[in-house]
Chain A
Amino acid sequence: MTAAIRTQELTKDYPVGFWRTRRYRALDDVSLDVARGEAFGLLGPNGAGKTTTLKLLFQLVFPTAGRAEILGRPAGDIAVKRRIGYLPENPSFYDYLTAEELLSYFAGVFGYQGAERTRRVARLLDTVGIESERRLPLRRYSKGMLQRVGLAQALVNDPEVVVLDEPMSGLDPIGRRQVSDLILGLRTEGRTVFFSSHILTDAERLCSRVAVLARGRLMSTGRIGDTDVFGIRGWELVVANVDPVRLDRFRTEGVSVRPIADDRVAIDLGLETRPEQIASELVAAGASLLAMNPLRDTLEDYFFKTVGRANTDDTADRFDA
């Protein structure tokens, strides 16, 4: 079965500057595969090249080298665009149109007419939950609503593959939840979902495999649990009412003990310890266990470790002068 999305040594240089044009390498030799029906996260800090990758899939920009394919057809193929959808980053459309008019317009571009068009638009609005505001012009929409409209326009043609660029950026917790649920819904429907994000927890909730992009290069790919990027490196116990003597003993053992508030403390235990054992010890001694959280590296921690620099956005490096 052909991959839903495949890139091979995809490279993109941007010319920069007016007279002495230098080249800025936005993507360098990126190869990845997304299988059908998979939910795949493209992760990386800002400036990593995530948006560039997604745009290359739709030939909104042209590759300097390498190639990209969607559903077995080369990127930019008009026929395959009938089967895929795209949500751009921070989508902006025509703010004088209403959501209904916007979706109707795009439906027209696809070639849907008359009753079929009306039906689709209504169903889309219903799916993303913009029913009651569908006659308001888009300029009156909140960020969350705009994001949902953006998702709706990506689904007009009932696509097999949905490509989303930072679908949850700039949203409040409620908005994030709503969008996140919608994406889960897409998964359940069997669509391939390929999205980019710089927030690890989003990826955790939504996708099975991830790729990590940093400074235009692919750092690693694989299942979330498998990669050493996201491996658990320890545990955090949040407890209250612990005997101070016991806390001192932790400290002398080199275990980090951080007071939080009142008498609550967070104890960071290493991977080699048995956190459940220590927890039951403390509880038996009269403490209350409030939380037990796995400790993971953030993306920034990962880059800090592997690349060894304080500043992860060192774009100056990627210019060829």
Chain B
Amino acid sequence: MSGRRWGGWPGVVAAGCTVLVVGLQGARPSASADVPPSPLYVTSGPLVQRLALSFDALVADIYWIRAIQHFGSTRRSRDPGKQYDQLYPLLDLVTTLDPDFNIAYRFGAIFLAEIYPEGPGRPDQALALLEKGFAARPDRWQYLQDIGFIHYWWLQDYEAAAGWFLRASQVPGASWWLETLAATTLTQGGNRDASRQLWQQLGADADHDWMRQEASRRLAQLDALDDVDRLGSIVDAYAARVGFPASWDEMVAAGLLPGTPVDPAGVPYALEAPTRSIDVSSSSPLFPLPGAPPTLPPVP
């Protein structure tokens, strides 16, 4: 009696479906079927990933929000001992949970390397992040470009930078100007015009407002550097004759300048009597100009 109840069409269907399920698993179309799980990092990324189940993307968003807030609040803070120590771990977590989180990589590229106290001053972390990004998304030439940018701007290693720009230019879909940039970098690395070109292109290709703003700021700083040079020669000439000026009014009165010189942000330049040099005012948004010796973050 009970034997009969075990069989019948439900049993056949169940058996058939089991076979089909196993067979289907073997015949999975997507390439991700046999991709090994993400490599282990020192962070707790993989653990979080397992805990997040299918809500990886949402958790990545949460960490991204935290990364931005951490960066913003630390930057604004006046605490002399402030640390950006959370920034890289958070960005790393975001990109482990969601390897396609493009903006996290770009943000890291720009701001992780930013010299203290504007940023953590860790170009090595920025490079690690970008390399991770490119490993996950080999179609993202922008990450290679950013690596090149870091070598150029922060590490002043122009040969390496040119190499990275060249590699970037070889990724299908890369911007046409990367090859030119590589060449320019190689020949004129450090030259202000090359830098100007770099920032102009970064600004034109920017994904987001803040990238554009950063590019504008950098270009303004480059202009300021030009200004400082020109002003410097005028002031030097005056100093040789009369002595270092006490204020710009002196120079204006002497007819050497049409008015108080202001930087691209509209803030008057500062005369540094002790060093006999000219710089942007410390109250200017362009302060400090690139090329100033970096300050190290305080030991925690």
A residues near B (Cβ < 8 Å) are 62-65
Contacts and interface: CB of A to CB of B under 8 A. Distances in A.
Nearest to B5: A62
Contacts of A63: 1
Interface of B: 1-2, 5
A64 B5 CA distance: 12
Closest 6 pairs (CB-CB, A-B): A62-B1, A63-B1, A62-B5, A62-B2, A64-B1, A65-B1
A239 to B, nearest CB: 60
A78 to B, nearest CB: 14
A64 to B, nearest CB: 7
Interface of A is mostly: loop
Nearest to A63: B1
Contacts of B2: 62
Contacts of B1: 62-65
A279 B99 CA distance: 106
B237 to A, nearest CB: 97
6 contacts: A62-B1, A62-B2, A62-B5, A63-B1, A64-B1, A65-B1
Nearest to A64: B1
A119 to B, nearest CB: 37
Contacts of A64: 1
A62 B1 CA distance: 8
B7 to A, nearest CB: 14
Nearest to B2: A62
A301 to B, nearest CB: 38
Nearest to A66: B1
A63 B2 CA distance: 9
Nearest to B4: A62
A62 to B, nearest CB: 6
Contacts of A65: 1
A62 B2 CA distance: 8
A253 to B, nearest CB: 60
A103 B1 CA distance: 34
A64 B2 CA distance: 8
A63 B1 CA distance: 8
B276 to A, nearest CB: 91
Nearest to A67: B1
A62 B5 CA distance: 10
A65 B1 CA distance: 8
B21 to A, nearest CB: 30
Contacts of B5: 62
B5 to A, nearest CB: 7
A125 to B, nearest CB: 38
A17 B169 CA distance: 75
B161 to A, nearest CB: 74
A63 B5 CA distance: 12
B193 to A, nearest CB: 81
A57 to B, nearest CB: 16
